Amino acid sequence: MAAGWNKLDGAKALVDSGIDGVPDFYVKPLDQRLSPQDLELHAGEQEDEVPVIDVSPLLDSKPTSSDRSKEDVIAELLDASERWGFFQVINHGIGSDLTRRMLAVAHEFFQLPLAEKMVFYSTDIDAAVRYGTSFNPLKDVFLDWQDNLLHRFLPERRDQPHPWPTKPSAYELIAGEFVDQAKFLARHLLRALSEGLGLGPDYLEGEFGEHNVALRLNYYPPCPSPELAIGLSSHSDVGGLTILLQDSDIVGLQVKVQEKWKTVRSVPGALVINIGDQLQQIYSNGKLKSVEHRAIVNADKARVSVGLFYDPASDVRVSPIPKFVDTEHPAAYNPCVFREYLKNLYSKNLVGKELLESQRK
């Protein structure tokens, strides 16, 4: 490890400095290490694959080639959200050219010299653009083997110029287009879920208020001993819906299903959707699921993923929807202001679903 490297410089700088092993502060305690099965990413057909749903009937106003109706798709989405909280969508309207360019520009961003990325280093959770490493490097007991850029699109700042990263020069155009299209998709998925829950299509959007959107670019450099480290520690996403784009030929995303970790194999052209704590548990009083997931690393190739988080507005007080609360199903979670939930996320060293559990009545 090169002299002068420090934890905040992150995983890529560490690898670039020339290392032959994983430094102690990236090594997980024994009980959290990955088993050989965990790392068997291409092991034969897995049973119970995460569902893959063709969502074109939701997006097209005219009849599509699909023989399924909009109602069929809504039923599939609801079933996947209740049973898995995690699924992939195809024919989602975001072209393969754009997703390819989005992944390429994310790779390019992380190739920039460290000093140019560190311009965006901040501990302010309200910063519009924030670059860093691991989850909360000042508090994490063990660092995650990844660096990230969190780019928030705050509704309250719509009237102010948006501080886009100016490098790579294509970032603004490509990320802007990707965010617009992913937001369109998120809105349609939210409408479909809202309808599926018997609430009417606009209900959840109305609850979200002036929603929050954030784009997170994750970069996982190759790791000399992937079994010792973790790319992104187990967590559930905190907000509404997440749309995740991952490198198509490098797997790394895993989801916890019945206490077992399952690799989410990337289906060509698909996007991964997962349900966040607010939408799944608090609004729906546990009817929908927000599921633990994590990213593992590999020894050979850098991997990127790009997540779009479509969340309630910061000042929205999230509380269970009356329809889902009755004497048999009392409200399981305390209502919370979304911003406070986010603040808690960044102020603690949280693992798995501890944050949501701390909201339990």
Residues making contact with ligand AKG (CB under 6 A): 216, 218, 232, 237, 244, 246, 252-253, 293, 295, 305, 307
Binding to Fe ion by residue 292, rule CB under 5 A?
Answer: no
Write the DSSP string, 290-314.
---EEE---SS--EEEEEEEEE--T
Closest by alpha carbon to 178, among 235, 105, 76? 105
CA angle 283, 289, 134 (to 5 degrees): 100
Question: Residue 266 binds which one of Fe ion, ligand AKG, none, with CB within 5 to 8 A depending on kind?
Answer: none
CB of 161 to ligand AKG, least distance (A): 26
β pairing state of 232-235 and 293-295: antiparallel
CB of 308 to Fe ion, least distance (A): 11
Q: Give the per-residue contact string, 224-263, with Fe ion (x = CB under 5 A; - = no).
A: -------------x--------------------------
In terms of CB distance, is 81 or 91 closer to Fe ion? 81
Neighbours of 357 (CB within 10 A): 12
DSSP 48: S
CB of 218 to ligand AKG, least distance (A): 5
Instruction: Output the residue with the shortest Cβ distance to Fe ion.
Output: 237
CB of 235 to Fe ion, least distance (A): 6
Question: Residue 89 binds which one of ligand AKG, Fe ion, none, with CB within 5 to 8 A depending on kind?
Answer: none
Q: Which residues pair with 235 in a beta bridge?
A: 293, 352
CB of 277 to ligand AKG, least distance (A): 12
Phi, psi dihedral angles at 160 (to 5 degrees): -105, 150
Type of residue numbered 132: G
> How far apart are alpha carbons 200 and 340 in whole angstroms?
28
Q: Which residues bind Fe ion (CB under 5 A)?
A: 237
